[in-house]
Structure 1
Amino acid sequence: MASYSITKINEYDAHGGPSSEKPGGDGHAKTATREGRYVINSIGKHVSYGKYAYWSGVAWGTEMRLDGDITMVKNGGAWVRLTDVNAQWGKYKTQQKQVTEYIRQQYTAISNSKAFPNRWIFNDFGHTSVKYFKDNNHNWKLDGKEQVLGDFIHTTPPDEYLTSINKGSQIKLSESHGCIHVKPLDIDTMIGNGYLKKGNTIEVHSYTERMIPVSLTRSIARPPFEVHFYPGLFKIAIYRVSIKK
């Protein structure tokens, strides 16, 4: 059986969920980022249809405008009312002015500006998300009863805004609900360098680990790169993979 040597070549700041479950300020529980080895299934903008379907029910960067007091978004190439996007926003179809005021308040909270945004910058999962699954049969593809986890690698709206005004150095990554938060420029770099790529491995380590190893050995791996998250150290380490001779 082949054995693989993985050698650390880079690292980035990252923040997962708490080591034990606790309430989140938004009414959703914060849970630990799940330990294990996973395979990346997809990379792209995330749209929620469940409990996060208010702010995350619209893709990051979607065009916005006002039609009087009505918030409009470009959905599928056509301008529609925000309250027509999904059932959650649809609850407020008769309260268009209040919806628009709510959008203004949210934008002010992020940007400290009272202007109305021209792009949707409220999606909790940022401009791109990396989704992964437990590859039970080790064939590097999603099949059988395998499912994509609810833990993603993604950015957050406040960090995206700081990056957009060239203040990325001020970012202090926040604790997640179980996902892995990273900086916007870092996720772009990891994608651009091929570290985060469909089919690559992500390994989430134990919260108790207090050192990032320079090298590791794995019996199942695939070149050229693996991404390892150390939640207790708030770091992602990038490893180069090679067959052990």
Structure 2
Amino acid sequence: MAVFEKSKGQDLTGWDKITHTQTIKEGKDTRMTLAGYDMTGFYVISTDTSVCTIHETTSPTVKQPVAERQFVVTGVRDGSCEIQALYSEKNRTVLASFKVIVTNVKMAAKLVFFPGERTVGECTMGTIFVVGGNGEHYDAAGGAPAAYKGEGGHTSDPTPPGVYVLGPQHKATTGTWPNSAIPWGAQLRLGKEPGRVEYLQGGNSWAAANGPTGIIVKYMKQFAARDGKTRTTEECDNELAGLFFTDRERKVLRTTSWDQNDFGQWSWNLTLNGKITPFYIHTTPLNELQTVKGWTVKLDNSHGCVHLAPKTRDKMMADGYLKKGVIFEVRKYSDVAPRN
């Protein structure tokens, strides 16, 4: 036997115990308990994730057998559906359920990101849900679920939970990631000296990309210095050769526009309290290449940003959700999809 119920301390607002119905507003949460005996394998779902989502908050360290499992239900759009506890993912026998009614309060659409829902290969994947839209949702990958130290003085961190506001769409640049010192799409040309490359800066002047005065070389040296290392200009140029040239003589450019900025073609900062943060929504050069080539796009976890596939980015832009002023809420990694 199993039953969905409100346990001690859970908000009773909108809960009808007699009809087993929960009413919530778009964008709001409610907590629910699944009670019974040894429900470890039960598979809990929303019958329509465009109306509401359900994520488990039960601690993975809870003692077995499990007598209670905790969930958070989030209203996505106006409508109704059921939350069901199935015997397993394969055996769809319904062992417990309750009805959810989501009411529309005419709010502006916002994005809610659950970053720790599932694992795909070595990547922790999540989903961005549109609250107040038309039930849309999009795959995304946030920062690594466990922090670790990387190269160049960087750390890889989970994307911090919080309520952010998207900054304007722009081509991000930063010297902390050497390849990102040049904007995505900047025009390239061969320099006057052999093996030299220049990029169009600000649309009206040319500047060195490699060589002793090259902007990427400058930041490659700084990147190494943060790890207590030194690099020569020659070492940097040799590493960059494959990104700039197609031939050993370094006379033929691989491309005439820069396509190795780590933030991809477009990015949006996750601003907090009106201030810029280190966190962005963006694609990656590898995923951009995979898309152009028609290869399978595989996301990876970031250093804290939110990674999208290029086609997902384009779809979200077309749907009107990637633009300045849109609220972007990040939930905890512990709010995960139902386990099997």
Smaller-chain TM-score bracket: 0.5 to 0.7
Q: Which residue of 2 aligns with 1:62?
A: 186
2:148 aligns with one of 22, 28, 48: 22
Instruction: Note if contact 1:125-1:155 (Cα within 8 Å) is conserved in structure 2.
Output: yes
Root mean square deviation, CA, Å? 2.8
Instruction: Name which of structure 1's ranges 29-38 and 126-135 shifts more when overlaid on structure 2.
Output: 126-135
Distance between the aligned counterparts of 1:40 and 1:10, measured in 2? 18
SS in structure 2 at match of 1:73: strand
> Normalising to structure 1: TM-score of the pair?
0.68
Distance between the aligned counterparts of 1:18 and 1:90, measured in 2? 25
Q: Which residue of 1 aligns with 2:199?
A: 73
Instruction: Note if contact 2:172-2:183 (Cα within 8 Å) is conserved in structure 1.
Output: yes
Matches within 5 A, 1:215-234: none
Q: Which residue of 1 aligns with 2:320?
A: 194
SS in structure 2 at match of 1:189: helix
Distance between the aligned counterparts of 1:106 and 1:90, measured in 2? 16
Higher helix share: 1
Instruction: Note if contact 1:30-1:178 (Cα within 8 Å) is conserved in structure 2.
Output: yes
Larger Rg: 2
> Normalising to structure 2: TM-score of the pair?
0.50
Q: Which residue of 1 aligns with 2:241?
A: 104
Q: Which residue of 2 aligns with 1:224?
A: none
Matches within 5 A, 1:1-245: 5-6=26-27, 7=76, 8=130, 9-24=135-150, 28-49=154-175, 51-52=176-177, 54-67=178-191, 68-76=194-202, 77-83=204-210, 84=213, 86=215, 89=218, 99-106=236-243, 116-135=254-273, 142=274, 147-167=275-295, 170-211=296-337
Q: How many residues align?
A: 189
Q: Shift of the alpha carbon at 1:185?
A: 1.5
Distance between the aligned counterparts of 1:19 and 1:91, measured in 2? 27
Distance between the aligned counterparts of 2:284 and 2:152, measured in 1? 14
Q: Deviations over 1:149-198 (max 9, x none)?
A: 1111110110011112222xx11101100001111111121122111111
Distance 1:174 1:87, change over 3 A: closer
Distance between the aligned counterparts of 1:88 and 1:100, measured in 2? 7
Q: Deviations over 1:87-141 (max 9, x none)?
A: 862888xx77655432233469xxxxx9622211111110011112223xxxxxx
SS in structure 2 at match of 1:55: helix
Distance between the aligned counterparts of 2:141 and 2:334, measured in 1? 15
Q: Which residue of 1 aligns with 2:105?
A: none
Q: Which runs of 5 or more structure 1 residues have no equivalent in the other structure?
A: 109-113, 136-141, 213-245
User: Percent of counterpart pairs with the same letter?
Assistant: 28
Instruction: Note if contact 1:40-1:133 (Cα within 8 Å) is conserved in structure 2.
Output: yes
